[in-house]
Amino acid sequence: MTHLPPGAVLPSVDVVGRFPELARTLPDEAVVFADPKVLRSHPRVAKALRGRVVHRVPAGEESKTLEAVERFATKLVHVSRGATFVALGGGTVGDVVAVLAHLHRRGVRLVQVPSTLLAAVDSSIGGKGAVNVGPVKNALGVFHGAAETWLCDELFGTLTEAQRREGRLEAWKMVVTLDAATARRWLRRPPADEVLLREARDLKEAVVRTDPYEQKGVRVVLNFGHTFGHVFESLSGYRLRHGEAVGLGMLCALDLGVRLGVTAPSVAASIEAGLPMPRGARVTIATLLRGASTSTVGGLLAADKKGAPGQVRMVLLEELGRWRLVDVPAREWQACVKGPWRRA
Ligand SMILES: NC(=O)c1ccc[n+]([C@@H]2O[C@H](COP(=O)([O-])OP(=O)(O)OC[C@H]3O[C@@H](n4cnc5c(N)ncnc54)[C@H](O)[C@@H]3O)[C@@H](O)[C@H]2O)c1
Ligand SMILES: [Zn+2]
């Protein structure tokens, strides 16, 4: 398989260890891209990188632009095709560096070092990298898989509870849609973050393996909770964290599943009780919706593409571990938006 280019989307080799030890294994021609906050919060990590080329990529959507890619590319013109690019940070760094690694001399080897739980369970797997164009998120993107992913537990030690919760909710999204046995176990007893990370990573890896370049419509399952999640992110003016918005979106997907007879009420209720959401999730949904008209919501849903006009194509849950893509008629989601979701 040596004819595969660097960046082919294959299951990544996961290496577990402490960052300073793993950093010693890097080749001389490694270029590190790091979230400056991670370097500040982890002096040992910063020390382990002394003497190496380190570019700083601040977290946040402002870093996910073509201008940022070009700025880095200008600094990299002398770097050969044999180089290894290392993305040390959350999904922001991972997304931008995947694009850079794909374009630099038509593709170089990539190592992902996720520093948020969300990046560890989601964005560092599957090879997707993207930048935004104007207000359109991830408008330009590539598939460029990591050759290795380093899982360095110590990095997660500086995450806040809210940051951890985002990663946990994306992990729950995978487990409830893909693996009934694990979901039941998690519902009985919430897993420790190390367990959650490992199990959710394996599930996403398995989905990606079946459909590495998103041609069979299998990766769409990873959008569970995202249809209304994106609406809530937008209605909050992006103040709501993505993972939390996805959690609210999962509640909406469960409600619609029950309404359409796709999801059993008891399954929906047990998931709602088990999801690690902050208190008052339903109140948050109601508050956000009270500030918006149904047509505003419709516009946001339409911007999220998919489905015939008015209809919304979304992943619903048939059973724990079993999902289906369903065209939800406008009257159904509108009834929820006007009725029960607005009253909490
Ligand atoms: N490529 C994909 O498949 C995919 C999947 C999901 C999300 N994403 C993208 O990922 C991005 C979100 O990722 P994210 O939530 O990791 O966000 P992020 O990289 O923007 O980081 C979020 C915050 O956490 C901080 N941070 C990072 N590591 C830390 C640490 N160890 N300790 C303390 N703070 C730390 C950052 O500085 C930032 O303030 C979005 O741009 C999204 O589009 C991509
Ligand atoms: Zn997400």
Domains detected in the chain = 13-156 (3.40.50.1970), 161-338 (1.20.1090.10)
Distance CA 33, CA 54 (A): 6
Give the Cα separation of 284 and 47 in Å (integer): 43
Q: Which helix (H) or strand (E) holds 19?
A: helix 19-23
Res. 293: pLDDT tops 80: yes
Q: Atom of ligand 1 at shortest distance to CA of 126?
A: 3
pLDDT-derived band at 4 (thresholds 50, 70, 90) equals: confident
pLDDT of residue 2: 63
Query: Ligand 1: does its nearest atom lie under 6 Å from the Cβ of 212?
Result: no
User: What is the SS3 assignment for 159?
Assistant: coil
Å from CA of 246 to ligand 1 middle: 15
Ligand 1 pocket, residue 263 CB under 6 Å:
no
- Ligand 1 pocket check for 59: Cβ under 6 Å: yes
Provide the 10 A C-beta neighbour count for residue 94.
Answer: 30
CA 331 – ligand 1 centroid, Å: 36
Query: Which ligand has the nearest atom to the CA of 142?
Result: 1
Query: What are phi and psi for residue 214, nearest 5 degrees?
Result: 55, 50
> What pLDDT does 310 receive?
75
Q: Please check the confidence at residue 307 and state whether its pLDDT lies above 80.
A: no
pLDDT at residue number 3: 81
Q: Residue 1's pLDDT band (boundaries 50, 70, 90)?
A: low
Q: Which of 61, 95, 193, 222 to mutate to test the pocket of ligand 1 (most atoms within 8 A of CB)?
A: 95
The pTM score is 0.95
- Cα 228 to Cα 231, 240, 307: the distances in Å are 5, 13, 14
Average pLDDT, the chain: 95
pLDDT at 306: 59
pLDDT at 136 over 90: no
**In which band, very low, low, confident or very high, does the pLDDT at 190 lie, cut at 50, 70 and 90?**
very high
Share of the chain above pLDDT 90, in %: 92
DSSP 122: I
Mean pLDDT, rounded, for 20-32: 97
- What local confidence, expressed as pLDDT, does residue 302 receive? 87
